[in-house]
Structure 1
């Protein structure tokens, strides 16, 4: 049962970290005037896609770091 709980925490925290990071990237893109939903794949659309991907990956890594630190404090 503990293994199932651990896997659930891992999956949910990864998903939440990615989604929050991607939303932050989307918001920053909007502030910079980048339009993700513009027709075609112009430079601003591609820049918005890259920004969302970078922030989504950063959020995922932040969630994994948080989980590692949490596991360290739980084992003490």
Structure 2
């Protein structure tokens, strides 16, 4: 396999793992703050804030994962 393809696959996998891990962390933080968007009915303030925390966590997780990947590259 070409080195460029390996790098692209590694970067995609790291992005996906960081995104999912960050989203899970954001969801847990939202839940611990009482912003459980899964059990809310409708689009209340708590529900929207919980969704925003999940999105923020996903973005931060992806960014951190990509920084870790770049730090390991020679």
Task: Report how far residue 69 of structure 1 moved.
Answer: 0.3
Equivalent pairs counted in the alignment come to: 72
5+ long unaligned stretches in structure 1: none
RMSD, aligned α-carbons: 0.8
- Segments of 4+ moved more than 6 angstroms: none
Match of 1:51 among 40, 53, 58: 53
Query: Mind listing any 5+ residue stretches in structure 2 that lack a counterpart?
Result: none
TM-score, normalising length: structure 2? 0.92
Using structure 1 for the length normalisation, give the TM-score. 0.89
Deviation at 1:35, TM superposition (A): 1.5
Greater alpha carbon shift after TM alignment, 33-42 vs 17-26? 33-42
Q: Distance in 1 between matches of 2:70 and 2:6?
A: 15
